A and B are shown apart, each in its own frame.
Chain A
């Protein structure tokens, strides 16, 4: 099963680059232990605006929480610790 994440896109979604390594904050929507829902982490990842390109689903929210109708997809490369 594809895992689901979401992220906040603060700029124009059209300007977000696809298929190249980005650093972004994502939130877990389908954790194994449901107490961890919305756990956030910084990640290096590839994203596509096509829902089917990468293995996991990426839901997208704008700056004030507005959810875009169609999800994107994401491939996580690694979690990045800030500490």
Chain B
């Protein structure tokens, strides 16, 4: 799923759909009424074709890969999701949180404290010293996986239904009060330990580096494995851009940001999170309706649920094509004042995965943010406003047409 073409196919769209077309479709589907899941019997659930309990539930009977030479262990779960329920509200969460195999019965991974499952686990289970039931879904359908790594507020089982346009089918777990996609390949059930943590990482991460330190992380103790006959696992192999981590997360981060900014009535023309930036840099196009609009955009986006995951916002005007890297770089390098156009946010939220952060900052999840405001100030007199010079704007239409139609006759290639 590392190209827009495959994303379009996953969304059931024409493979040649443009990025704005796929984006509009995602925004449309995810703003309709939530579609709750439906329950099916175990007899209708392929993920129950084999049920392994007790000693038979052994993680080394699954082919967890050593994804990159030098990783801290075999990462069984890299394109999957973890199902959990809030112990008080019973709200369902699906989240993609990477998991490494430790021994036959033990897995370990980072559940960052600001993630939805992190808030349940670190905020509720740990203080109460209560284990947290989980189910890892290995290899679900593409849209359920996309839902589980999208920073949306909608419970992901419903979000997946919205993306599909129909309810997802769930089935009860064997050992706990959780439900999992009936058509998944493999399910691993168990409990997250409330007090023991063990060493996890390093791992080749979505930033294109091995960055986050080997540290004590969250421990999953397993009780059951259920799977289809001849099951498959899905693996994401993160590295330098562009792979599915970067492309799909950029896609949903950018579009959740678009919905947030639109919900506040800001006259944006679009939001594009660049996959090549490993979802660290986002370009926002806006009608320069009032002074301070770029700061308003940055404050909202950095202050939202998306904040931990990116740190650069480039705000351009409504004439700039946000999908065109050349135009964005031109705007950034000509219109952003090196001092007044840059706004820094120090001591902000971050993650242990940020290559730019110091080792101490990584441990504490501290980051920094920056806004690049590429809008000319509104109070500059019109006659002093730099005027863009381009073939399309500075020549009469008839001359443009004449030149274009004669281009090859002049001896140039099209």
Question: Which residues of A are in contact with B by a Cβ distance under 8 Å?
Answer: 8, 10, 25, 27, 33, 35-42, 61, 63-67, 82-83
Contact = CB atoms under 8 A, between A and B. Distances in A.
Interface stretch (B13-21, B192-200, B315-323, B390-398): B192-200
A39 B71 CA distance: 13
A37 B66 CA distance: 10
Given A10-B214, A35-B61, A83 B70 contact: no
Contacts of B199: 8, 25
B345 interface: no
B73 A38 contact: yes
A65 B202 contact: yes
Interface of B: 60-61, 66, 68-74, 101-104, 193, 196, 198-199, 202, 210-211, 213-214, 219, 221
A82 B199 CA distance: 12
A83 B213 contact: no
Given A39-B103, A40-B73, A82-B196, A64 B210 contact: yes
Contacts of B198: 25, 42, 82
A65 B60 contact: no
A8 B72 contact: yes
Nearest to B72: A8
Given A8-B214, A83-B221, A61 B70 contact: yes
A79 to B, nearest CB: 10
B60 A36 contact: yes
8 shortest A-B CB distances, which residue pairs?
Answer: A65-B70, A64-B210, A35-B60, A40-B102, A82-B196, A36-B60, A64-B202, A38-B74
A40 B103 contact: yes
Most buried by A among B68, B103, B210: B103
B70 A38 contact: no
Given A8-B214, A35-B61, A83-B196, A67 B221 contact: no
Contacts of B70: 61, 64-67
A46 to B, nearest CB: 20
28 contacts: A8-B72, A8-B202, A25-B198, A25-B199, A27-B73, A35-B61, A38-B66, A38-B73, A39-B101, A39-B102, A39-B103, A39-B104, A40-B73, A40-B102, A40-B103, A63-B202, A63-B213, A64-B202, A64-B210, A64-B211, A65-B68, A65-B70, A65-B72, A82-B196, A82-B219, A83-B193, A83-B196, A83-B221
A24 to B, nearest CB: 9
Contacts of B210: 64-65
Given A41-B103, A66-B70, 17 more contacts: A8-B72, A8-B214, A25-B198, A33-B60, A35-B60, A38-B74, A38-B101, A39-B60, A39-B101, A39-B102, A63-B213, A65-B70, A65-B71, A65-B210, A83-B193, A83-B196, A83-B221
Contacts of B101: 38-39
A39 B104 CA distance: 8
Most buried by B among A35, A40, A63, A66: A40
Contacts of A65: 68-72, 202, 210
Nearest to B102: A40
Most buried by A among B68, B72, B213: B72
